[in-house]
């Protein structure tokens, strides 16, 4: 009897426990069971496209295939890698290295290779019975459908592996195998382009193996990234890439009124698809070791002496300080001695007597060697800095150099006992010596002149609200005089920038050439200027490394830009695109 009572008591307890678990605690324990039964798999969101100002596609997505292996099901891994190698012609060691790099657990697929062709997939399908745990999935890769490079602007994406993920500041936002913007606009606007991941719900067994879809839970669809419209004019970009194809240098076109960048050519460049994984190690080494430095973004990270394009700084300092009269002349005999040094003019026979207007029009060096001695170093340096030299412009690209404006302290530190001397100021007056600038700084400089001191930070995002640079307040007469000088440099019969004029009715072109001495080789050729057509305005910076005279080499390329921009026949412009 006692034994029966014990049995009844035990069964009562068990029934009560079953009731508590199955009925009272149903929701709680079902949730726990689902956690063990269901695996939420993130699904990648397509990255947004990058387009030019007119909607022409610069960067798109295209589907490719990735081969994965599920470690728990693969069995003889060495045999599997051998079969895959025979199908793909990829070395076994590379396949194993990829598999190890993306390994995250025995029950999570690990990447083996990507960009599989149809023939490679067919071969793998034929050997499917030998390849337990091997599967392939579709994956979006970046593609570049336009026939321009603009690679230094677009940048590239990078695939995240375990090492990179562990060092990221926001690892929860990404997973191994995801793409992340790593350079250029891809990096600058990563938050816009990347989108939001979705979730796919799969059933797993007690060993964590996937056994099918969950029927009672709907997948969460990914939200594609936003498309980014840039300020780039694809037709103009194409035109200037062609014009610069024979040279090392840059061609940059901006709108001084808005700060929008219309064309951005750093030459030589590289094919934007070299970072998609199809470049061989040998090809990559050739690019890295290329003496022409195609990976260098010359516009934001190239440092150059600006040469005679800098003469307007000296002219402004003289005019604002009331240190010179409009008709005051200096004698140019082709050479000028200062202390124990001899300075030369580009025109060996000299320009004779010239005033400030003629000195800028004809780019006379001797005039500025003499006139700059009236300007204090502090006034000169402050003016340089007000025009943006020595500071980053704030362009919406991840990397930019600040250049160098050599102050008295800098020169004393560098040259110690010799230190600063007035002879250095003569070099600065012509944009030489220790002075170094980036082409994007020259763009801000000429844009400030074009807008009488009120321009905006250069940028690529079309929807961006323009941000002002620091304003420069000069006398109205100074602005008018400087613009007249620049007009004469392009339009006067003795102007060094004559070749920049596109000869289009109603278009006024202003500019300054420069021939910058280069300690590493032949002189660099510069042209900086802008053109007006009513309310429309565009500025152009041209640099040809080792090109010699700016009037002969750089100015004609500026003319190409102006001609494209201000061509009255709109059908011709659209045809270029």
403/443 same-domain check: yes
Q: Does residue 320 contact residue 478 with C-beta atoms inside 8 Å?
A: yes
Residue 11 within a domain = no
Task: Return d(Cα 456, Cα 466) in angstroms, integer.
Answer: 6
Instruction: Kindly state whether residue 485 falls inside one of the protein's structural domains.
Output: yes
Tell me whether residue 116 is in a domain. yes
What residues contact 262, with CB distance under 8 A and at least 6 apart? 53, 231, 232, 233, 236, 253, 254, 255, 538, 565
| 139/286 same-domain check | no
pLDDT tens for residues 234-250?
999 999 999 999 999 99
Residue 23 lies in a domain: no
**135 & 256 share domain:** no
36 within domain boundaries:
no
One domain, residues 510 and 565: yes
pLDDT at 78 (0 to 100)? 85
- Counting every residue written for the chain, the total comes to 577
pLDDT at 178: 81
Q: Do 145 and 114 fall into the same domain?
A: yes
Residue 577's pLDDT is 41
User: Are residue 390 and residue 454 in the same domain, yes or no?
Assistant: yes
The mean per-residue pLDDT over the stretch 418-432 comes to 83
- The pLDDT confidence band at residue 446, using thresholds 50, 70 and 90, is very high
Output DSSP code: residue 172.
G
pLDDT value at residue 265: 97
- Give the Cβ contact number of residue 332 at 10 Å: 25
Rg (CA), the chain: 33
Q: Tell me what percent of the residues of the chain surpass a pLDDT of 90.
A: 54
Instruction: Provide the pLDDT for residue 384.
Output: 96
**What does the alpha-carbon distance between residue 530 and residue 474 come to, in Å, rounded to a whole number?**
19
Does 574 score more than 90 pLDDT? Answer: no
Is a pLDDT exceeding 70 seen at residue 519? yes
Query: In this structure, is residue 29 part of a structural domain?
Result: no
CATH number (domain holding residue 338): 3.40.710.10
Q: What is the pLDDT of residue 573?
A: 43
Do 423 and 466 share a domain, yes or no?
yes
Do residues 212 and 33 touch, judged by C-beta distance below 8 A?
A: no
Strands 50-51 and 228-229: parallel
362 exposure class (CB count in 10 Å sphere: 0-12, 13-18, 19+): buried
> Would you say residue 31 lies in a domain?
no
First to last CA, the chain: 100
Look at the alpha carbons of 263, 266, 270, 273 in this order and tell me if their dihedral is positive or negative: negative
Give a yes or no: residue 560 inside a domain. Answer: yes
Contacts of 173 by beta carbon, 8 Å cutoff, 6+ apart: none
Domain's final residue, options 201, 229, 257: 229
Last residue of a domain, one of 206, 229, 252: 229
Q: Give the tens place of pLDDT for each residue, 340-361.
A: 888 999 999 999 999 999 999 9
Beta bridge partners of 139: 64
pLDDT for position 389 = 97
Phi and psi based region of residue 259 (left: phi greater than 0; alpha: psi -120 to 50; beta: remaining): left
* Same domain for 273 and 246: yes
Nearest CA among 227, 226, 268, 225 for reference residue 245? 268
Band of residue 208 on the pLDDT scale cut at 50, 70, 90? low
Average pLDDT over residues 75-99: 87
> Per-residue pLDDT tens for 559-572?
999 999 998 544 44
Cα–Cα distance for residue pair 497/508, rounded to 1 Å: 13
Identify whether residues 173 and 251 lie together within a single domain.
Answer: no
- Report the pLDDT value the prediction gives residue 253, as an integer from 0 to 100: 98
Give residue 476's pLDDT.
96
Confidence class for position 179, pLDDT limits 50, 70, 90 = confident
Is 370 strand, coil or helix? helix
Verify that 113 and 175 share a domain, yes or no.
yes
CATH classification of the domain holding 126 = 3.90.1310.10
3-state secondary structure 300-361: HHCCECCHHHHHHHHHHHHHHCCCCCCCCCEEECCEEEECCEEEECCCCCCCEEECHHHHHH
What domain range includes position 151?
41-229
Q: What is the pTM of this model?
A: 0.85
Same domain for 213 and 277:
no
Number of domains in the chain: 2
Pair (417, 460) in one structural domain: yes
The domain boundary, picked from 229, 257, 280, lies at 229
Q: Which residue has the higher pLDDT, 132 or 477?
A: 477
Instruction: For residue 530, give both structure tokens.
Output: 């802008």
């Amino acid at each position: 009897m006692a034994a029966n009572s014990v049995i009844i008591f035990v069964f009562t307890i068990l029934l009560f426990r079953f009731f508590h678990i199955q009925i009272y605690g149903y929701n709680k324990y079902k949730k726990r069971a689902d956690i063990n039964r269901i695996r939420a798999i993130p699904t990648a969101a397509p990255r947004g496209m990058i387009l030019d100002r007119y909607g022409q596609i610069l960067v798109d997505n295209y589907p490719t295939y990735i081969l994965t292996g599920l470690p728990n099901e693969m069995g003889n891994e060495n045999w599997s890698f051998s079969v895959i190698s025979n199908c793909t012609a990829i070395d076994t060691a590379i396949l194993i290295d990829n598999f190890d790099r993306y390994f995250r657990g025995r029950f999570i697929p690990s990447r083996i290779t990507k960009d599989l062709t149809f023939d490679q997939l067919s071969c793998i399908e034929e050997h499917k019975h030998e390849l337990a745990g091997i599967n392939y999935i579709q994956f979006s890769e970046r593609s570049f459908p336009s026939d321009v490079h603009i690679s230094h602007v677009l940048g590239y994406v990078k695939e995240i592996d375990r090492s990179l993920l562990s060092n990221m500041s926001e690892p929860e936002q990404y997973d191994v195998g995801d793409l992340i913007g790593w350079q250029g606009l891809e990096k600058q606007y990563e938050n816009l382009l990347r989108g939001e991941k979705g979730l796919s719900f799969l059933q797993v067994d007690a060993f964590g193996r996937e056994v099918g879809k969950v029927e009672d839970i709907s997948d969460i669809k990914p939200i594609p990234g936003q498309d980014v419209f840039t300020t780039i004019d694809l037709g103009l970009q194409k035109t200037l890439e062609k014009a610069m194809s024979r040279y090392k240098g840059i061609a940059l076109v901006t709108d001084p009124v808005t700060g929008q960048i219309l064309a951005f050519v750093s030459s030589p460049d590289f094919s934007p698809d070299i970072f998609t994984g199809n470049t061989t190690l040998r090809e990559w080494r050739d690019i890295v070791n290329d003496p022409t430095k195609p990976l260098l973004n010359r516009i934001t990270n190239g440092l150059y002496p600006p040469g005679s394009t800098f003469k307007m700084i000296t002219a402004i300092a003289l005019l604002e300080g009331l240190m010179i009269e409009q008709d005051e002349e200096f004698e140019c005999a082709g050479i000028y001695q200062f202390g124990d040094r001899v300075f030369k003019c580009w025109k060996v026979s000299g320009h004779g007597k010239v005033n400030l207007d003629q000195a800028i029009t004809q780019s006379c060096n001797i005039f500025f060697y003499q006139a700059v001695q009236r300007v204090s170093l502090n006034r000169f340096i402050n003016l340089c800095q007000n025009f943006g030299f020595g500071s980053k412009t704030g362009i919406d690209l991840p990397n930019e150099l600040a250049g160098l404006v050599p102050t008295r302290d800098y020169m004393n530190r560098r040259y110690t006992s010799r230190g600063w001397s007035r002879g250095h100021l003569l070099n600065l007056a012509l944009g030489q010596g220790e002075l170094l600038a980036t082409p994007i700084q020259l763009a801000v400089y000429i844009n400030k002149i074009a807008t009488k001191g009120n321009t905006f930070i250069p940028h690529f995002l079309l929807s961006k609200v323009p941000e002002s640079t620091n304003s420069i307040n000069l006398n109205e007469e100074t602005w008018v005089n400087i613009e007249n000088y620049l007009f004469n440099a392009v339009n006067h019969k003795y102007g060094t920038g004559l070749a920049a004029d596109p000869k289009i009715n109603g278009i006024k072109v202003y500019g300054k050439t420069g021939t910058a001495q280069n300690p590493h080789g032949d002189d660099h050729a510069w042209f900086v200027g802008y053109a007006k057509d009513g309310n429309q305005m565009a500025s152009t910076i041209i640099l040809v490394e080792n090109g010699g005279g700016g009037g002969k080499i750089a100015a004609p390329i500026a003319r190409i830009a102006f001609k494209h921009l201000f061509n009255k026949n709109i059908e011709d412009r659209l045809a270029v695109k």
